[in-house]
Structure 1
Amino acid sequence: MMEQIREGSQNWVVKIILGFIILSFALTGVYSYLRGGPHGNAAAEVNGQSISRVELERAYQNERARMEAQSGDMFKQLSGNDAFMQQLRKGALEQLVNQHLVADAISDMGLRVSDSQVKDAILGYDAFKIDGKFDNDRYLAVLRNQGLTPSKFSEMVRVDLARQQFVDGVISSTIVLPEEAKTLYAASRQTRDIQVATVKAADFVGKVQVSDDEIKARYDSQPQGYMAPEQVAIDYLELSEKALEPSVTVSDQEISDYYKDNANQFKRPEKRRSSHILFTGKDAEAKAAAALKEIQGGKDFADVAKAESQDTFSATKGGDLGWNEQGVLDPGFDKALFAIAKEGDVAGPVKSAFGYHLIKLTGIQAGETKSLDEVKAEIKAQLTKKAAEDLFYKKQDELERLAFENPDSLVDAAKAVGLEVKHLPLFARAKAPAALNYPKVLDAAFSESVKLDKVNSEVIEAGPEHVFVVRASDFKDAHRKSLDEVKAEIQASLQGEKAKAKAEATAQALLDKLNAKEDVTAWLTENGLKFETFDGVNRNDTKVAPAVGRSAFSQQPGGRELVSLADGDSAVVEVKAVHAYEPKAEDQPVIDMWQKRLAQQREGDANRQFIDALRKTADIKVFNTDKG
């Protein structure tokens, strides 16, 4: 309830923002069916009709907004990848091509939408409504914001309705029978009893030999393999505000002066503790007024809260909402609470975004100014940071000047700003030492001017008040490692391959014996193997390896097969029994959901097949996918 009261006043803003986001998606979606601009500015051409670069940019921005809304911070990271964003743009173009193909097919089929259907659709857009009713001024304002005229938008809606008519009438005609969904659901809940003999590749590693000739042959067979990345050795200077703080001194007089000059900063605001009773529904105000009379007549506020408050969480505590500063709660509630004259008084009924309240003031903590002793450490830290920042920027300017004036050395700059020239031996970018592992710093360290010309970099900002200057003292280009450098690596790889082959051969021998109906008891003991039994395994069971689970559900009872496991081991999987599942009444909602999802899946498959068929006969030319 507390979170609702604090956030409730913002709900209408959120709803409006979401409304405009949804509308922008809708507008962009239907806009994309219209034909593009002149051929010279075309991103692509579909059966002789252009898709303009402007149209592509609009579709791209729509897709970008959709992904950002879904992925949040993850999308911010992805958006820095040029290859990913280019792929996103190409995907938007693919969608536009598909939409043009469908629009052409719909036109060829003669599907039409009447003016009244278009009008009804426009009147139904929530983003054009105020208080649930269509508002023409709002409609025109939104279209104007999108750069559209009413006639253009009407045509867009007409095309979109025709497409939807086709989808509803043809693509959506796929059928999934209830019994089919029930059968598939029952199969998904089926369990099986299995036994598994696992042959571990690791048991054979020490039993296989790898010759020098085999190692050299592998090395020679991969002339582009076994590459060492480029490496650079770096001398660098690091300057940060944090590192300068210990050298800064702040006097008691400075602290005292700051306290006097900034007294308002150290005031504690008044806090009030309250209890409330919440009433909701059409007659909420009347109920609140009736309850107020009962309280004024002597009934205990807490008892009424427990019996009648719709805020069930606080009701169990007699309506208690704890301590709050002014401006934290819902505006209407907040104003009434801080207008109550004295502890014990009850105000109400008070209207808020959640209904009507009776509010009881149960405590007051008067505002006061913290003493100097209470805030001395806080002020000292604040002044120390400020002084360190001032010193940092002064030293940064000096560092930047001297690093530029003496590009072949960091010594003079280091002496002038009181820093130590630090050194890092050769390292690859992928294994950068933590001290230098900042994207912008590594970009500079591996730049042509630094690694080849061996001159000082510019001042590089690694973070707020944290900079570096780097220079290369050595550089190694990417090169193929020598055989001696990779001999141990190749030997281990070949041993692993041979051990895996031995494990697979042993598992195959076991499978052959089982299929020949031989008694394998003694053979299993000789080879240090055994069967493990797993009863009641389901399709997503984590107690067996994924490959074992897949094998168990691909066989009939009594079947057995050899499977390769992800870690190089091999296993023989045998199905001992299958336990069917009979759906119960409580499973029906899930079965209904399965039926719906299967229908959606088939609709999607049908749509893709239809698009693929259109593409096979279409004349599609892509000219330019760059930003328009």
Structure 2
Amino acid sequence: MLQDFRDNLKGSAKIVLVAIIIVPFALFGVDAIFLSGSSVEEAASVNGETITELRLQQSVALQKQQILNRYEDLDPSMINDEQLRGPVMQQLIRQKAVELAAREQGMAIDDKMIYRLLLEVPDFQVEGKFDAQRYEFVLRQMGYTPNSYNKLLRADMLNSQFMQGVSNTGFSTERENQLLASITEQTRDFYYLTIPRAPVLDAISITDEEVESFYESNKDQFMADEQLVVEYLELRPDDLVQEVVVEESVVNDVIEARISAARAKQSRQVAQILLEKQDDGSHLDKISDIQKQLEAGEDFAVLAEQHSEDYSTAEQGGDLGFVQRGDLPESLSVALDSLSVGEVSGPVETDLGVHLVKLLAEKKAELPGRDDIEPGIRRELQRQLALELLPERIEELKDLSYNASSLESVADRLDLTLQITEPFSRNGGDGIAGKPQVITAAFSEPVLEKGLTSEVLDLADDHVVVLSLRERIPSRLKPLAEVRSRIEQILKKERADRQLMERAETLVARVKGGESIEEVAKQESLQWHVNLNTKRFSGKLNEEIRQWVFSLAEPADSAVVSDLALDNGDHVIVSLTRVTEGDFSKLSAEQKHVLSTTVALTAASRDYQAYETLLVEQADIASKY
């Protein structure tokens, strides 16, 4: 009986029980009676098991999103789905081959492990708790059903288990550890001085004759690319908002729903003392006695612990946690409505018994004002209707623009604004001229040579454009005045680099002749540095210098002297005096563990890759890609 009451709660006490009931049903219940299209169309097969077109599409979309997450400034339109299909399919084939091998060897994933994982996924939670509706909504957005997502999750976990099993077989020998330590823990002693390029550049003057001579001899370097100006029509949902009409009744319904949803988020922290009903009515006498003790100042939590027969909450002083309207029987909700924080109700009867409830705290959600949310809701509904209208308008745009002599008439028919780009080259330009699809279409033969309008181009799911050539600006030689500064920089850099190289060769010869880096640097008024016991992976040294120093051969009878031109134009002269090999025996216990683990993991990774390749080579594979 008491369990029935607790099952009605939507707080923390209920979530595990609900998950146990709902999640298995969602995962293993009826998926779809009829499946068609990409969901079952075969893109590849591995040992008779199908990889569907839908699975490939989902994996391509995921790969694309991972690329965009890694390179935040990358234009999504620059990623071609077709170019991703081949590599992604190869990865899916490898995963399928591993999955089949794991299953053949008796590996499996326990259902409970999947349940626990799903319960912990933040995207499937509402206010920190797993929510079945949220779970199904997110899956739909990703293009999965509960059943297909379960299969994917199970396969990924199985592959991870298999890979971990192989990787755990990796080991390292004492000799391997010593060899790696001799390299990774190696230290080098060296001196170096720097010849900066900036002062040399500042001291160089370039004459007008030199600039003009270079310009005349290298005109091909100063040709401006061919440029185009195109006119275009864009079609997006925002362009169709004026065409749609939102019924006021729909706006009102959504407003009321938003306000109701906000109101539903109000919650109250409640504690209770519950007594089961007795045939002789003794529970009423007991509840009356508890009331008297409360009136006398006794603590509600202490009395709940002593007397409440809801044993799951009694130890917590009767605390039910935060609940929302609908979580409790209606009679209890009504009683709570009349209480202020800290007050206790009179006896309230439900099917479970007699209750005393105390209001411990309230979380009042801010209810949105109707006037505040109405404009935004109206815009949302208008955009939704515009989205529904968009496919129809796109078809009209395709029909009207096909073989159109001018986009101006198309703009008039569809009430769109004809726009014009700034000149742009094959490298792109500003705004829409920076889109790869636009650049490709503009410089295509039909548009550029035949003067036709382009096809309707998809720039995004809800954004299309059609264009035609307005002006073609041929390649031309840029005037000297436009490129003078660039030529001066080229000539200065060339002259400075020659001077720096000559000076570096002279100073290297002096150091090889017996002078020290310190002596040469002081005589030449240059900065110098000494680095002792420098490790291969030291982060305190310029990366270019460190890599160069550790690429030099070990010195024999004398120091190894060399010069290096840095990316910034400076020259560095290095004198390597000593190399000390790393000693595994001198490492701390923690360092030894890390190094040996690295060796083992490297070997295991190599073994796994080889094993995975073997599985693929031995598999019966058929693929469209």
TM-score between both structures, scaled by the size of structure 1: 0.54
Q: CA deviation at 1:543?
A: 3.8
Distance 1:334 1:248 in 2: 48
Q: CA deviation at 1:175?
A: 4.1
Q: CA deviation at 1:549?
A: 1.4
Distance 2:322 2:612 in 1: 62
Contact 2:236 2:464 in 1 (8 A): yes
Q: CA deviation at 1:448?
A: 3.7
Distance 1:587 1:334 in 2: 65
Distance 1:411 1:486 in 2: 38
Mapped pair 1:400 → 2:397: yes
Contact 2:267 2:322 in 1 (8 A): yes
Distance 1:493 1:532 in 2: 31
SS at match of 1:470: strand
Q: Relative to structure 1, is the Cα distance of residues 463 and 492 closer, same or farther in structure 2, using a 3 angstrom cutoff?
A: same
Contact 2:170 2:601 in 1 (8 A): no
Mapped pair 1:432 → 2:429: yes
SS at match of 2:537: coil
Distance 2:406 2:172 in 1: 76
3-12 or 499-508, which deviates more: 3-12
Distance 1:334 1:581 in 2: 73
Q: Name the structure 1 match of 2:509.
A: 512
Q: CA deviation at 1:403?
A: 4.4
Contact 2:47 2:621 in 1 (8 A): no
Q: Name the structure 1 match of 2:109.
A: 126
Aligned partner of 2:259: which letter?
A: F
Aligned partner of 1:561: which letter?
A: S
Q: Relative to structure 1, is the Cα distance of residues 513 and 131 closer, same or farther in structure 2, using a 3 angstrom cutoff?
A: closer
Deviations 1:356-391 (A, max 9, x none): xxx985224689986xxx221421343356457768
Q: CA deviation at 1:472?
A: 1.0
Q: Name the structure 2 match of 1:232.
A: 228
Q: Name the structure 2 match of 1:531.
A: 528
Mapped pair 1:74 → 2:44: no
Deviations 1:110-138 (A, max 9, x none): xxxxxxx999x42x533599999xxxxxx
Contact 1:344 1:362 in 2 (8 A): yes
Distance 2:64 2:243 in 1: 44
Mapped pair 1:592 → 2:593: yes
SS at match of 1:430: coil
Mapped pair 1:452 → 2:435: no
Q: Relative to structure 1, is the Cα distance of residues 12 and 218 closer, same or farther in structure 2, using a 3 angstrom cutoff?
A: farther
Contact 1:451 1:472 in 2 (8 A): yes
Mapped pair 1:269 → 2:269: no
Aligned partner of 1:375: which letter?
A: R
Q: How does 1:202-601 map to 2 (within 5 A)?
A: 202-205=198-201, 207=204, 231-238=227-234, 240-242=236-238, 258-259=251-252, 263-267=256-260, 268-270=262-264, 271-274=266-269, 362-364=360-362, 374-384=369-379, 386=381, 396=393, 400=397, 403-404=400-401, 407-416=404-413, 419-438=416-435, 440-457=437-454, 460=457, 462-463=459-460, 466-475=463-472, 492-493=489-490, 496-518=493-515, 524=521, 527-533=524-530, 537-553=534-550, 559-574=560-575, 587-601=588-602
Contact 1:89 1:625 in 2 (8 A): no
Aligned partner of 1:404: which letter?
A: S
Q: CA deviation at 1:427?
A: 0.6
Q: CA deviation at 1:434?
A: 1.4
Distance 2:384 2:96 in 1: 52
Contact 1:194 1:577 in 2 (8 A): yes
Contact 2:190 2:574 in 1 (8 A): yes
Identity among equivalent positions (%) equals: 19
Give 5+ residue unaligned stretches, structure 1. 21-42, 44-51, 104-116, 133-141, 147-160, 277-292, 306-317, 347-358, 615-619
Distance 1:193 1:199 in 2: 20
Give 5+ residue unaligned stretches, structure 2. 1-10, 29-43, 70-75, 116-146, 152-161, 272-289, 306-316, 345-356
Distance 2:186 2:18 in 1: 49
Contact 1:403 1:456 in 2 (8 A): no
Aligned partner of 1:530: which letter?
A: Q
Distance 1:539 1:434 in 2: 46
Distance 1:61 1:416 in 2: 38
Q: Give the paired residue count.
A: 493
Contact 2:181 2:583 in 1 (8 A): no
RMSD: 7.0
Q: Name the structure 2 match of 1:86.
A: 86
Aligned partner of 2:361: which letter?
A: G
Q: CA deviation at 1:595?
A: 0.8
Contact 1:193 1:534 in 2 (8 A): yes
Distance 2:528 2:254 in 1: 81
Q: How does 1:155-166 map to 2 (within 5 A)?
A: none
